[in-house]
Amino acid sequence: MSVAGKHIVVTGGGAGVGRAMAEAFAHADAKVTILGRREAQLREVAAQHRYIGWVVCDVTDSSAVKAAFLQARGLNGPVSVVVANAGAAESVPFARMTPEQLQNMLAVNVGGVMNSWQAALPDMKAEGWGRLIAVASTAGLKGFPYVSGYAAAKHAVIGLTRSVALELGDCGVTVNALCPGFIETPMLERSIANIKDKTGMDEMTARASLVAGNPQGRFIQPDEVAGAALWLCSEVARSINGHALAISGGEI
């Protein structure tokens, strides 16, 4: 089974990995709806391909997500695949992290996944086929210093994935998480700028500090994550369920 004709919803679809996902699915002849908070970015991505529609939405707001999926169905019909890609990272030493900062990390990185998956699940159950995919991180598989809130949230995404996979195993819906290492996206550039600002490192040294954990000595590219998502949607991946797939060059 290919994704041709299937309706794919990608959250955080206006830039980076989300944009790469949307374009990859559209080129595979799927009908794609991208969700995000920034209308200009969404419009720019949608303009690249006639099979991409867009809806402005904050994934932390469950009511807004339900309304956005209703609008997405109006554009492209019942939803067959959700890629919950929207996320955020904040760097702060644990001793200075506030409860509000932790809640913010949980709201977007975990709550956004839950809201998006729940909004699409009735369509998938009715069809007897579906794919729920979360874009997590290697921070969901191991710890990293100074991003404990983010790592806690991504670990929660892995737990959510494995648990929901068990609940839905007999209804034709698979549930998996993608766990990339540092990806060459605008978020990476912000991380590098933050390191420079807080440590005084130059850009080359800051980049080297992030890439050092990858045995291949490079950053992950967005198309690699998009390709993994496409594979999870294929018929040959129908038994891949409850899995956290590291896309990290062997880092973990």
Catalytic site positions: 150
Dihedral sign of CA atoms 194, 38, 155, 244 in order:
negative
Measured CA to CA, the distance from residue 114 to residue 107 in angstroms comes to: 10
The single-letter DSSP state of residue 15 is: S
- 73: how many CB neighbours lie within 10 A of its CB? 17
Q: What backbone phi and psi angles, to 5 degrees, belong to 79?
A: -90, 130
- 214: how many CB neighbours lie within 10 A of its CB? 17
Helix axes 222-232, 16-27, angle to 10 degrees: 50
- 49: how many CB neighbours lie within 10 A of its CB? 13
* Non-local CB neighbours of 135 within 8 Å, separated by 6+ positions: 12, 17, 83, 84, 85, 87, 177, 178, 180, 225
Q: Which residue matches tokens 């050092």? A: 212
* Non-local CB neighbours of 187 within 8 Å, separated by 6+ positions: 16, 89
- 198: how many CB neighbours lie within 10 A of its CB? 11
**Is 240 buried (19+), middle (13-18) or exposed (0-12) by CB count in 10 A?**
middle
